[in-house]
Amino acid sequence: MSRGQPPSGARVSARREPFTIEVAGSSPVTRRQFLGRAAVAGGLVAAPCLVPGSALGRDGAVAPNERIVLGGIGIGGRGSGDLRWMMAEKDVQFVAVCDAKKAQREKVKQIVDERYGNTDCATYRDLREFLATREDIDAVLIATGDRWHALASVMAMRAGKDVYSEKPSCMTIAQGQAVVETANRYRRIYQTGTQRLSEAKFTFANELLRTGKLGEVHTVRAHIAPWDAAEMRHDWLPGEPEPPRDEVDWDQWLGPCPWRPYNAAYVRGGWRGHYDFHTSCIGEWGAHTFAQCHVAIGAAGTSPIAYEYVDNPTGDGMVTRFANGVKMILHRGDQWWHGSCGVRYEGTEGWVAIADGYAKPEVSSPALLDDFERVVREYVDRTGNAQSHVRNLFDCIKSRRPTVANPVVMHRSMTTVHAANICMWLKRDMKYDPVQEEFVDDPEANRLRSRAMRAPWTL
């Protein structure tokens, strides 16, 4: 499964253009303008012609032809939070949701319709129908649960959509490779839901490393979830009668995963802890914290080369090592933080720690916090990365620049998750070659880099 080098060459970088129609004898008009004029000409709009101010961009509203048209796939609890966050942006219009569960489709429709004061949000059960028929949708929010994130992203990008995929964004190293390959092939903008890469206090911690304020960084620590284990379940819950397909499309809910009898607990969130559906306690928070650590130490495009097995159920205390000499240690408990998704960076001249709930990072010396606002502001000026993960996505959809949590960032940090999991499952130390993307002298581990997908849900 060695990968060749991606093709070199200049990026095709162009500002996103609305679909234009050439009208003989006049300047090109946008699709939305054309439809508006046609409606007037066809007498579909009663005189006098009153056009809402929002259509003209008044009072801060963004004109429809400048809005990003958004759809959703598998929006549950976490996804609903993302949805509300996205709909708060003025240049976004959410128009449709696809979900295997009818109750969830209707719940999302209600959220969207209430936001916009209409009943326009469309609902779909069938993912392929949704992607094939909604050519108007520019981008999709994918929040299905680990098992579907990669394949849905690939399918959406093949259909010409940009993607925001919740994390953990892939179940295997091979799935991560497929997301990178597809995004590159179709020049799609993709963001994985590691939103702390767009939060000022985490950004500041990363900037401390980048600017050498901690000296030579030798150790980073990454929080893994304090629930579940690295070893996961292979049992089946007791089989129950499958609901009507329109209520719960069990076949589509399973998607690429091995078939098993239906049980309502799965679709209510009880899929966690099952090998077929979940990336373990390591993936649950490692999807976030490993991405933070990778980016902080300048290793966004690689993964650790060594993983030391620990004889406990969770991976707590596992030491991994990058080729640049930095150790990343996995921690489950609260000894290094007092919040969730913590990271800590240690150098020869100081340390910084940050987790959810902190007003600002904790540091070895108060002087390290000097100029907090200036440092963050300069980061934003230098990179163009807004300190809002969804704003960063939408800016990049318009500019076609890579997002802060782009496919490579996702794939390499998730490779670390998968390698750590494989280390725990096989109960031995591992060595990994991040250039060839394979375990060194370990055929058994290499066979766990991929899993055959269930037809017709294949890559």
Partner 1 sequence: MSESELIAVLESEAGPKEKADACRELAVVGTKEAVPALAALLGDEKLSHMARYGLETIPDPAVDDALRGALGKLEGRPLVGAIASIGVRRDAKAAAPLAKLLRHSDADVAGAAARALGRIATPEAVEAVKEALEKAPEELRPAVADGCLGAAEALLAHDKRPEAAALYQLVSQADLPKHFRVAAAHGALSARQPAANP
Provide the minimum distance between the beta carbon of 238 and partner 1 in the complex, in angstroms, as a whole number. 12
| Tokens coding 362 | 């904790």
Is the CA virtual torsion 191, 195, 200, 205 positive or negative? negative
Angle among Cα 103, 109, 112 to the nearest 5 degrees reads: 145
- Min. distance of Cβ 234 from partner 1 in angstroms? 6
**Cα–Cα separations (whole angstroms), residue 123 to 128, 141, 196:** 13, 14, 31
Shortest distance (Å) from residue 455 CB to partner 1: 4
Q: At closest approach, how far in Å is the CB of 443 from partner 1?
A: 7
- Among residues 311, 302, 288, 146, which one has the least CA distance to residue 223? 288
How far apart (Å, rounded) are the C-alpha atoms in residues 315 and 318?
6
Measured from the CB atom, the residue of 204 and 457 that comes closer to partner 1 is 457
Task: Select 92 or 131, whichever has its Cβ closest to partner 1.
Answer: 131
The residue among 114 and 444 lying less far from partner 1, judged by its C-beta, is 444
Using DSSP's 3-state secondary structure scheme, residue 58 falls into helix
- Specify the residue, 243 or 258, whose C-beta has the smaller distance to partner 1: 258
Which residue's CB is nearer to partner 1, number 186 or number 372?
Answer: 186
Between 419 and 453, whose beta carbon lies closer to partner 1?
Answer: 453
- In the complex, what is the shortest distance from the CB of residue 376 to partner 1, in angstroms, rounded to a whole number? 34
| 315: its two tokens | 């991976």
In whole angstroms, how close is the CB of 162 to partner 1 at the nearest point?
10
The secondary structure of 347-414 as a DSSP string is: ETTEEEEE-TT-SS-EESSGGGGTTHHHHHHHHHHHH---SSHHHHHHHHHHH-PPPTT-HHHHHHHH
Residue numbers at the binding site for partner 1 (CB under 8 A): 4-5, 7-12, 19, 135, 158-160, 181, 185-188, 234, 236, 258-260, 443-444, 447-448, 450-456, 458-459
In whole angstroms, the minimum distance from the beta carbon of 39 to partner 1 comes to 24
Length of the chain: 459
CA distance 89 to 96: 17
Nearer to partner 1, 116 or 259 (CB): 259
Minimum Å gap between C-beta 16 and partner 1 is 11
Q: How far is the CB of 457 from partner 1 (least distance, A)?
A: 9
The closest of 345, 321, 344 to 434, measured between CA atoms, is 321
Distance CA 149, CA 71 (A): 15
The phi, psi pair for 123, rounded to 5°, reads -125, 145
Q: Which is closer to partner 1, CB of 112 or CB of 137?
A: 137
Which of 218, 451 has the CB closer to partner 1?
Answer: 451
Q: How far is the CB of 185 from partner 1 (least distance, A)?
A: 5
Nearer to partner 1, 184 or 219 (CB): 184
In order of 123, 297, 323, 353, 371, the CA distances from 379 in angstroms are: 40, 16, 26, 19, 12
Q: Which is nearer to partner 1, 154 or 341 (CB)?
A: 154
Pick from 53, 51, 17: nearest CA to 36: 51
- Distance (Å, whole) CA 98 – CA 102: 9
Rg (alpha carbons) of the chain, rounded to whole number: 23
CB of 4 to partner 1, least distance (A): 3
Mark 132-168 as b/e (b = at least 16 C-beta within 10 Å). Answer: eebeebbbbbbbbbbbbbbbbbbbbbebebbbbbbbb
